Amino acid sequence: MNRRIRTALGVALTATLVTTAAPAPATAHDRRPSVIALPDGFAPEGVAAAGRYAWFGSRATGEIYRADLITGAGKQVSPATGTPSLGLKIDPRGRLFVAGGTAGDARVIDTRTGDVLASYRFAEAPTFVNDVTLTRDAAWFTDSNRPVLYRLPLGRGGTLPPADGFTTLPLTGDFQQDGTGVNLNGIAPTPDGRALIVVQSNTGTLFRVDPATGVTTAVDVPGATFLNGDGLLLLGRTLYVVQNFLNQVAVVDLNRCGTAGVARGVITDPGFDVPTTVAAALGRLYLPNGRFTTPPTPTTPYTVVAVDPR
């Protein structure tokens, strides 16, 4: 994740459908842990959640780890690959879609068995397949090094395509690739489900993407920028934008088509240490700490922080 560090220092639905309502806040007697420990040296990036569990990907080794959000206990569900596991999304069939970073690939994992169900090689270096979102008929991946999206079409019953069954969508319009740092990062659907929202980390701009044409338009959010924007999460019409090096989550109310929004402030927490991505579960938002400013070692501790939505 060195590209992220250099960029930041240089520039100071179910799971596949749009969620229709924000989760209720936790009660005063809630005993669920607000901080969950991940394995030492894990170096987390992505998070996906369903029920009482959350899955985390290691950017260091590619391992996938599952944590129980009620007890805090966890275990490995998919072994190290030697390549990164970055953005994650889980579908109602218990399949985890994983963005492969510098490997230029993606894979789909059965969360019950840990088996790799399918793998896809999108691009050769330079590439950085960073994040993923799911819609009714496709999985969409961003590439931080290229002005494109990768689309995995999902057939009847969610059938996965063959290894060469993906398409590459070039982006045109308002979005312009800016230098060699982290450009496209997080991705989410628009509230009406007809388009996609992406964030450009090094400019702090949100863009709406027409999935049929690749035409992009900047989302009008007066008075707000989203520098170091990382993972995105849409709940109803509220978009949460993780701003990793700023240790905060921006909260934006979007219109239905995702062309404009109103910034409602930010969520912060003393436990944030360069959070990367966000998932909603059990009435809370869960964010893994990437700790990009801390030298990674096999004994470096990593945590996940739970906060209330707003």
Is residue 201 within 8 Å of residue 229, measured between CB atoms? Answer: yes
Look at residue 244 and give its three-state secondary structure.
helix
Q: d(Cα 180, Cα 173) in Å, to the nearest integer?
A: 19
Q: d(Cα 73, Cα 94) in Å, to the nearest integer?
A: 20
Q: Which two tokens stand for residue 88?
A: 């994650």
pLDDT value for 31: 79
pLDDT value for 29: 57
pLDDT value for 298: 97
pTM of the full predicted structure? Answer: 0.90
DSSP string, 2-70: HHHHHHHHH---BTTB-B-SPPPPPPTT--S-SEEEEPTT--EEEEEEETTEEEEEETTT--EEEEETT
Q: Report the chain's mean pLDDT, rounded to a whole number.
A: 92
pLDDT value for 180: 86
Divide the 310 residues of the chain into consecutive groups of 10 and give the mean pLDDT of each group: 39 34 48 95 98 98 98 97 98 98 98 97 97 98 98 97 98 96 97 98 98 98 98 98 98 98 98 98 98 97 97
Q: pLDDT tens for residues 99-120? A: 999 999 999 999 999 999 999 9
Percent of the chain residues past pLDDT 90, beyond the cut: 89
Q: pLDDT tens for residues 284-310? A: 999 999 999 999 999 999 999 999 999
